[in-house]
């Protein structure tokens, strides 16, 4: 059964020191999508590039110590693509794609708008260009899974403190409506929610206060997939036994 994992590492070197790659070796995953490498090519050791025999492909940001995405695949992919064709966001290392057979797996790190109004405007620009890209992906006729940190909690169930965040980046009405368009208009699927509708399925916790200890979190990491592969999903888990990052890995198993 294909197993696909998405994990925002908040720094690949930091996650390595916390045991991420030792954990990854035990997961028997077919694909591991990582975000927020915070590393350049020169920083990538063999342990990061080909951990435990996996084939790694990466998209590095131009800015040092910032962003970056990657996909590890158990088998060598037929094709790999870095970036999705928008210079502003490709310079930030936000998109890595691999094709294996009739399946496309993408690691995505969508912009956060929380640091400043300027970054929120950048996030809106990303949303504007990425929706048509998703339509282009669908037009290819392949099964697609877009894994990663989308930096948006879609519904009230997806964050603990939703009433206090209605005007905050990550839960703005425009952002949530954009996610709804992906699911309702494009017909793509929030795979996690298709399998598990329980509350408190968070994947990120602020480092402020006691957010982790009190489980005051947000669900902002997703597998967004075409309906065919989404229908094969049968098991979802958020791994919280160890902390490699301020995010937790999202693990989804798909039937062959």
Active site residues: 149
Which tokens hold the place of 237? 């888990």
Instruction: Name the residue among 184, 91, 100, 174 with its Cα closest to residue 134.
Output: 184
Q: Which two tokens stand for residue 215?
A: 């489980």
In eight-state DSSP terms, residue 95 is: E
Whether the CB-CB separation of 36 and 66 falls below 8 Å is answered with no
Q: Decide: 149 and 221 in contact? Cβ < 8 Å.
A: yes
State both tokens at 143.
């099964």
Burial of 79 (0-12, 13-18, 19+ CB in 10 A): exposed
The tokens describing 4, both together, are 């696909």
Any residues with CB less than 8 A from the CB of 76 and at least 6 apart, and which? 55
């Amino acid at each position: 059964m294909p197993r696909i994992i998405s994990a925002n590492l908040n720094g690949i070197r930091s996650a390595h020191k916390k045991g991420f790659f030792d954990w990854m070796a035990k997961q028997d995953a077919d694909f591991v999508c990582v975000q927020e490498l915070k590393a350049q090519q020169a920083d990538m050791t063999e342990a990061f590039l080909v951990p435990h025999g996996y084939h790694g492909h990466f998209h590095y940001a131009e800015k040092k110590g910032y962003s970056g995405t990657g996909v590890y695949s158990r088998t060598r992919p037929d094709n790999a693509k870095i970036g999705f064709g928008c210079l502003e966001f490709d310079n930030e290392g936000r998109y890595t794609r691999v094709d294996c057979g009739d399946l496309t797996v993408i690691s995505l790190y969508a912009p956060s708008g929380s640091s400043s109004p300027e970054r929120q405007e950048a996030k809106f620009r990303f949303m504007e260009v990425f929706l048509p890209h998703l339509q282009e992906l669908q037009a290819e006729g392949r099964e697609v899974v877009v894994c990663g940190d989308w930096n948006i909690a879609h519904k009230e169930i997806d964050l603990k403190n939703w009433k206090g965040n209605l005007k905050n980046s990550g839960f703005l009405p425009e952002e949530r409506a954009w996610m709804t368009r992906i699911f309702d208009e494009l017909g793509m699927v929030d795979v996690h929610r298709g399998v598990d509708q329980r509350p408190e399925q968070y994947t990120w916790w602020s480092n402020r206060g006691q957010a982790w200890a009190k489980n005051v979190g947000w669900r902002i990491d997703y597998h967004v997939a075409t309906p065919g592969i989404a229908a094969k999903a049968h098991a979802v888990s958020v791994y919280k036994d160890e902390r490699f990052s301020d995010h937790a890995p999202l693990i989804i198993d798909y039937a062959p």
